[in-house]
Amino acid sequence: METMWFPTDGAVAQFIAPGTVVSGRGSAARVASVLSSRLRLARGASVFVAVDDAVAGMGLLDDMLEELRASYRVTVGGGFGAEPDDACIDRAARSAREAQAQVVVAAGGGSVMDAAKVVALLLRNSGAAADWLGAVDPPGGVAPLVMVPSTCGTGSEATRAAMVTVGGAKRISATPDYVATAVVLDPALLDRLPDRLVAITGMDALSHAAESLMSTDRSPLTVHHATQAIALLVGNLEAASKGDAQARAACLWAAHLAGQALNAGVLLGHSLAYCIAHEQPAPHGVTSGLALPYCVAYNASALEPGCARTLAQALTSGYGSDLVDAAQGVQALLRRLGLPVTLADLRIGEDADDRIARRCATEYPRSNNPAPMTVDALRPLVSAMRSGDLAAAFARG
């Protein structure tokens, strides 16, 4: 068996992860126990719970809320939507502040968890959500966070980033303090997710894992978590999108591992995803999945041979070590999942090519991307994305 590749260039790398991870079917009902045993939260303390409206509406959080209310004063906040903006986060923060919450619990998808992170920051600091954009170092820190993801996508529970829409544009707020104090992974929360949503969020997780593996800020633990996440997703996402409960549980684990790896930073693929969505609104997993093969192609010539081989083998389930095969495999997976593969599939006109290239390089640069992101280099890549021409995408490198 070939020895697994790890970065060995001696560069200092930091890996950040949640302090506690609880898992298993029905584990969401144990959040109150986590608060008392791991956070030492006194009985009767105030807890703010950010929830996904759809998940709560299906009754999937009833047991969790019942157990919390038996021990704590609970304030529930919802209404975050698919892309939380600063206004809805500020409303939630006002409720949390008025309740004098000591801990924030988030149960839902990435939008809920991202919003909860900023609420937790605002509990300990002055100002509003829009005042805390970019890399931040809040003097009051961030209130303890307990995250309960309800999708197999973002891995936000394990990341130091929160995406906030301000003035119609997605912006990042980032601090290591956003990494959850404790995480609860309950596969039961995925049972009633629509099949298409599983496919979309799973592709988001796959892009997190693959981009993290290529990041110049990766660590040996990044490589380990990313490759395991890719293997689980490539092996289970198709079945998960058809309702297989065990496959969904595997994808939930994969999304969390990818989230931990994600602290090495996403790359060009996510920048392209944001720019594509600016032209044609679409779920983030749709745009990041579409962009992933082109992120691989753009960076192929800049990757260390060991990194390229490891990524290719992971994305092809071990049958190849060629990044072209890997990129084609991702496109094939997208087609089997019924997701868009080209810009044309999203009805984005040719006139958008230059705008996408410019916005990508100027508004969403990535210093950790292996290959420099320049407008001139991105124009032919975006053109290749229009028709799904991977040969042209790799040729530009």
Do the domain assignments include residue 4? no
Q: In terms of domains, do 68 and 216 share one?
A: no
Give the residue among 305, 236, 276, 359 at the shortest CA–CA distance from 5: 305
Whole-number mean pLDDT of the chain? 93
For residues 185 and 23, the answer to whether their CB atoms sit within 8 Å is yes
Which of 152, 169, 190 is the C-terminal boundary of a domain?
190
Measured CA to CA, the distance from residue 119 to residue 97 in angstroms comes to 9
Q: Rounded distance, CA 213 to CA 342, Å?
A: 24
Q: Are residues 37 and 102 in the same domain?
A: yes
Q: What's the Rg (C-alpha) of the chain?
A: 20
Question: What's the CATH number where 42 sits?
Answer: 3.40.50.1970
Q: What is the mean pLDDT of residues 356-370?
A: 94
Mapped onto helix, strand or coil, the DSSP state of residue 32 is helix
Residues 248 and 151 in one domain: no
- State how many domains the chain has: 2
Q: In what order do the strands lie in the sheet with 103-108?
A: 20-23, 182-185, 145-149, 103-108, 46-51, 73-77
The predicted model gives 53-80 an average pLDDT of: 95
Are residues 165 and 236 both part of a single domain?
no
Q: For residue 381, give its domain range.
A: 195-395
- Summarised one tens digit per residue, pLDDT across range 151-203 is 988 899 999 999 999 988 888 999 999 999 999 999 999 999 999 999 999 99
Residue 41 is assigned to a structural domain of this protein: yes
94, two tokens:
């006002």
- Is residue 128 domain-resident? yes
Same domain, 175 and 227: no
Using an 8 Å Cβ cutoff, are 202 and 285 in contact?
Answer: yes
Query: Is 295 contained in some domain?
Result: yes
Handedness of CA 209, 143, 98, 189 (dihedral sign): positive
Do 325 and 368 lie in one domain? The reply is yes
Tell me the CATH number at 371.
1.20.1090.10
Indicate whether 10 pLDDT > 90. no
How does pLDDT run across 192-244, given as a tens digit for each residue?
999 999 999 999 999 999 999 999 999 999 999 999 999 999 999 999 999 99
Same domain, 203 and 185: no
* Contact between residue 91 and residue 65 where contact means Cβ atoms under 8 Å apart: no
pLDDT surpasses 50 at 1:
no
What is the structure's pLDDT at 9?
62
- Residue whose entry in the numeric block shows the structure tokens 């529930």: 76
In-domain check, residue 15: no
Cβ distance 254 to 152 under 8 Å? yes
Same domain, 285 and 342: yes
- pLDDT, tens only, 90-139: 999 999 999 999 999 999 999 999 999 999 999 999 999 999 999 999 99
Residue 343 lies in a domain: yes
Structure-token match 């260390």, residue found: 304
Same domain, 167 and 251: no
Sign of CA dihedral 379, 384, 385, 387: positive
Same domain, 53 and 77: yes
Is residue 174 a contact partner of residue 180, using CB atoms and an 8 Å limit?
A: no
Handedness of CA 208, 213, 216, 217 (dihedral sign): positive
Of the pLDDT bands very low, low, confident and very high (cuts 50, 70, 90), residue 293 is: very high
Boundary (domain end) residue, out of 158, 190, 222: 190
185 DSSP assignment: E
Residues 185 and 230 in one domain: no
Residue 356, domain member (yes or no): yes
The pLDDT assigned to 8 comes to: 66
Please tell me whether residues 71 and 205 are part of one structural domain: no
Q: Is the CB of residue 178 less than 8 Å from the CB of residue 35?
A: no
Alpha carbon distance 110, 86 (integer Å): 15
82 pLDDT higher than 90: no
